[in-house]
A and B are shown apart, each in its own frame.
Chain A
Amino acid sequence: MSNSKTMTVLRANLWTNNPIFIQILGICSTLAVTNNLRNTLIMTVGVTLATGLSSMTLSALKDLIPRKVRMIIQVVVMSFYVILIDILLRAYLPDVSKQLGPYVGLIITNCILMGRAEAFAQANRPLLSLWDGLTSGLGYMAVLMAIAVVRELLGFGSLFGIRVMPQGFVTWTIMIMAPSAFFLVAMVMWWAKSIQARNTADAKPAAKEAGK
């Protein structure tokens, strides 16, 4: 595993090919918990671990799995890791596990897991796949944590449950409810895509000048 390759994967998953604003994967299962920073953090750590470990396993097994039953085997491997996460959460963080409710189980159908297994682990070695899964999870975590900061700060006036807003602050009920998450995701997409578009526009004239 060469150094440059690991860096390329890291860069792609965090920015140029971010799972949320470029690939638009895995929005479903985690948006619902983003009105609380602690739950978001735990949930995205779970997604990161599950993606990394299942990508690694599937990459190691890729020559043994017949094509026809590939999908179901992938899902079973993912459920295995998600069950481990669920049991760990129930044992060590029972209150969080209760609040997250069905969303822990829904990591199984998070499209990022399947997407990385199909797009990356099928063609790469186990260690690199593990790295790819972990960095995808990080890219995902970065965006969702940003959304959760805004939602918890404006919705409850607190961060990680600690009140930071002044006494007279009126909380925005809409931030706790579902629509705000959709709007904030759209904002992040807009911001990221605009910057990326500007970067490519800047890069083009520079390349032309270099060509002269």
Chain B
Amino acid sequence: MTPLINPITLFFASIFTSNILLSNFLGTCSFISISKDWKSAFGLGMAVMVVMTITTAISWLVLTYVIMPLGLEYLSFIVFIVVIAAVVQILEMVIDRTSPALYLSLGIFLPLITVNCAILGAILFMQIRNYGFVQSVAFGAGSGAGWWLAMMLLSAIRERTDKSPVPAGLKGAGITMITIGFMAMAFIGFSGMIAVQ
């Protein structure tokens, strides 16, 4: 059954109240390794947002019109991974042909995205929650935007913490995890705003 959620509400809910990074822990790995400087964080965040929107849409189509009619649900993980890899590959080629400037800023992050858990995570959530097509696109775009937002906030904070006197054992990843924890607490404050799920 498709749940009755307004796609626009869903979009904002997946940015703020159920941020895919801060409440579902998805994409933390690349988040920690890339968020060191603001510029590359911006690039990766944008790339994730674009790829996530496209892959959730395509996966929904594949799931509804190919996998379900053929009864191949047990193969869905492999199919989703192949969809993600293919979208990333095609997007890389398209960007390379059409806009070399964009390719320089975004292109290097694209291969990293294939193994970003947030992308597959968004698709799996979409499958489990039975979203309709428009809802899926809104969910994908919102989750991507939420990831980008969290990434931007964190990299800005991180430029300061890298220069601060942090206990030796906490330097690097440790203090970053604590920062994410505080940010997740701040985002819990949004949860009263929209009630979804």
**A-to-B contact residues, CB < 8 Å:** 21, 24-29, 31-32, 71-72, 75-76, 79-80, 82-83, 86-87, 101-102, 105-106, 108-111, 114, 174, 177-183, 185-186, 189-194, 197
Contacts and interface: CB of A to CB of B under 8 A. Distances in A.
Interface stretch (B91-99, B132-140, B168-176): B168-176
A77 to B, nearest CB: 10
B169 A109 contact: no
A24 B32 contact: yes
B188 A181 contact: no
Nearest to B19: A178
B25 A32 contact: yes
B29 A25 contact: yes
Interface residues of B, number: 46
A31 B25 contact: yes
A108 B77 contact: yes
Interface of B: 22-29, 32-33, 74-75, 77-78, 80-82, 85, 111, 114-121, 124-125, 127-128, 167-170, 173-175, 177-178, 180-182, 184-185, 188
Given A28-B27, A28-B28, A71-B114, 11 more contacts: A24-B32, A32-B24, A71-B85, A101-B124, A105-B80, A108-B120, A178-B25, A178-B188, A179-B184, A191-B169, A193-B169
Nearest to B111: A71
A26 B117 CA distance: 9
A203 B22 CA distance: 40
A28 B177 CA distance: 12
Given A72-B85, A109-B116, A178 B29 contact: no
B26 A190 contact: no
Nearest to B80: A105
